[in-house]
Amino acid sequence: MKREAKRTGVFTRRALLIGGAQIAAFGALAAKLYQVQIVEGSRYATLAETNRISARLIAPPRGRLLDRFGEPVAGNKLNWRALLIAEQTTDVAATLDNFSAIVPLADHERARVERELRRHRRFIPVTLREFLSWEDMARIEVNAPDLPGILVDVGTTRLYPFGPALAHIVGYVAPPNDADVAEDTMFALPGMRVGRAGVEKYHDLNLRGRAGAVQLEVNATGRVIRELDRQEGTPGQDITLTIDSALQQSVLARLGDESASAVVMDARNGEVLAMATNPSFDPSLFNSGVSQAQWQEWTRNRRAPLINKAASGLYAPGSTFKMAVALAGLESKAITPFDTVSCPGYLDFGDRRFHCWSKYGHGSLDLRGGLKNSCDVFFYEVARRTGIDKIAAMANRLGLGVKLDIELPGTRTGFIPTRGWRIKQGKAWNIGDTIVSGIGQGYMQLTPLSLATYTARLATGRAVQPHLTRSIGGILQPGSKAEDWPSLGIPERELHAVRDGMFAVVNDPSGTAPLARLPMPNVQMAGKTGSVQVRNVTREQRENGYKSDNLPWEFRPHALFVCFAPFDAPRYAVALVVEHGNAGAAAAAPVARDIMMDVLTRDPASRRDAPAARVAEAKT
């Protein structure tokens, strides 16, 4: 009995110990369940939801650039791409290796991805490959279990429907660099682009927009099951330009294979209707990255396709500058419209002889005759009487050698010399410098854009500024009306005297540009030729029958022409430079005539909608 009682006691103690242990275990489990479900329930619910739902920021659609009739000149198209989210994979290197086995990555692409992974936070997607084909996307989706953190996403990429035709105006976009990301973290998002040139750069802030977000349901391997929610964010603003894209193409077609630039402006308000530079480049190449071979091809081309020659090319204005000299002379009372100068073919001053382009001379000429015949001796004398500082002041008032507030980064001011500038260099300004400035040679350097502005101001007497933006986000910008621009303060009689000389250049049978006469009833054009030497011509060469036609292309003079029309009610101004075209009357004037005829026929400044013919072409 004692032995049985002892055995029963031992069993009872064991049962109590086991029962106590079970109670303690179940108590701990209950406490843990309480901790998990009650105390930290919301936290674990969030974690569970996070494992099920992948939330990502998405780049906003970039705003479009439209021409004056609403035709897109820079838009967006869908772009399928592969992204990597580093926090969703435990081994980034292995994931990249697996991806490379499916969609090969070049060494420089792999280096870029690794650099961006170090630069960005782990939750920010990094682009592995853009512009995926359907085959690439299928291979990625099939191998999704072996590619943790990698997903296929759709975004947008920049589209330039007119390609090289508008490249120098529209500009281009490119992937952001470290400095861009430091400025705005939104640039870390896949698909974001930064305006690097042209209007894309100038209006970059307006075009960017604000980031959106997307929520995706994923399974345990990270495969996307469905899209739960998408907020596209705020698209960038659409910007309407003053450009007529059809006119731009027409101007380029007329330039042909010449290395040339042309600007067409509404003379009344400064709207730039066309700004053509030839040769050009394909701006879409910068979106995905320019190859080294392509870059070398561009930079080695002596015709410089990357340079916007219309806004950044610098040329001596030559005889197109003579109207500024004439107005300076009239304002300073150095001459009157009826004063005459005798031209024997040269002007001797001191021990130096300054030649006229006509070695036989022009005889006795007044202002109208001086402009009509483009007599160098006449303007040598006007410049000598007027002085360089008064000439420079008038040139600046006419838009030459001053900053033009146009929406193109990199636009150059050009240069008009003064006596003070020369003295600051520690050198003396002499009368010979003034004399050669009278025909737009010497130290002067101007852009075709400034010459077009100059012509528009001569035609209207108003201080118009060239501009490319009509509206931003549908809001019309100031400057679209003639009355928005102040008067130049030049007496109308003096402007009329100069315009009359320009009229004679084109319409008088003995003018220097009869080839520029418009074959249009009741419409007449005024203009001025210019030929600019790019190398000195010695007296010996002149005496031996020097002809620039026989020189290599790069040594021939530039050919220039500026004009406005209609003469009795100026509306359009054109400036044209044909590099090494030799003679303005032969190489530039006929081209400018054809451009002006096209402009007058289209009359884009008077239209609110695209011409019917153009709409029909677009539908076709």
Asked if 208 and 62 count as a contact pair (C-beta separation under 8 A), the reply is yes
**Percent of all residues in the chain with a pLDDT value above 70, rounded to a whole number:** 88
Q: What is the mean pLDDT of residues 229-233?
A: 73
End-to-end CA gap in the chain: 114
| Residue 540 in this model has a pLDDT that exceeds 70 | no
Look at residue 221 and tell me whether its pLDDT is greater than 60: no
In the prediction, which pLDDT does 481 show?
82
Considering only residues 65 and 25, tell me which one the structure prediction assigns the higher pLDDT: 65
What are the pLDDT digits (tens) for 144-165? 888 988 888 877 788 999 999 9
Of 113, 97, 214, the C-alpha closest to 148 is 97
pLDDT reported for residue 615: 44
Tell me: pLDDT of 254 over 90.
yes
Q: What does DSSP say about strands 172-174 and 194-197: parallel, antiparallel, or unpaired?
A: antiparallel
Amino acid 616: pLDDT? 43
More confident residue, 136 or 504: 504
Angle in degrees, CA 578, 583, 587, rounded to 5: 50
pLDDT of 617: 45
Asked if residue 142 has pLDDT above 80, the reply is: yes
SS3 content of the chain, % helix, strand, coil (to 5): 45, 20, 35
Asked if pLDDT for residue 396 goes beyond 70, the answer is yes
Contact 577, 550 (CB under 8 A): no
Catalytic residues: 319
Q: What is the pLDDT of residue 307?
A: 94
Tell me which of 46-55, 264-273, 294-303, 526-535 is least confident: 46-55
Model confidence at 61, pLDDT cuts 50, 70, 90, reads confident
The pTM (predicted TM-score) of the whole model is 0.82
**Strand residues in 279-394 grouped as ranges (E):** 341-343, 346-349, 352-355, 363-365
User: 499, exposed or middle or buried, with CB in 10 Å at 0-12, 13-18, 19+?
Assistant: buried
Whether 472 contacts 239, CB under 8 Å: yes
Q: Tell me the backbone φ, ψ of residue 106, rounded to 5 degrees.
A: -70, 165
Take residue 57 and report the two structure tokens written for it.
């920021």
Looking at residue 149, the DSSP 8-state letter turns out to be T
Q: Could you say which DSSP state residue 387 is in? A: -
Residue 620 has a pLDDT of 36
Average pLDDT over residues 342-353: 91
Say yes or no to pLDDT of 619 above 50.
Answer: no
What is the pLDDT, as a whole number, of residue 73? 96
Tell which wins on pLDDT, 151 or 72: 72
Q: Which domains does the chain have, with CATH numbers?
A: 56-241 (3.90.1310.10), 245-278+308-615 (3.40.710.10)
Q: Which two tokens stand for residue 464?
A: 């118009």
pLDDT mean across residues, the chain = 87
Tokens 């790069």 identify what position?
554
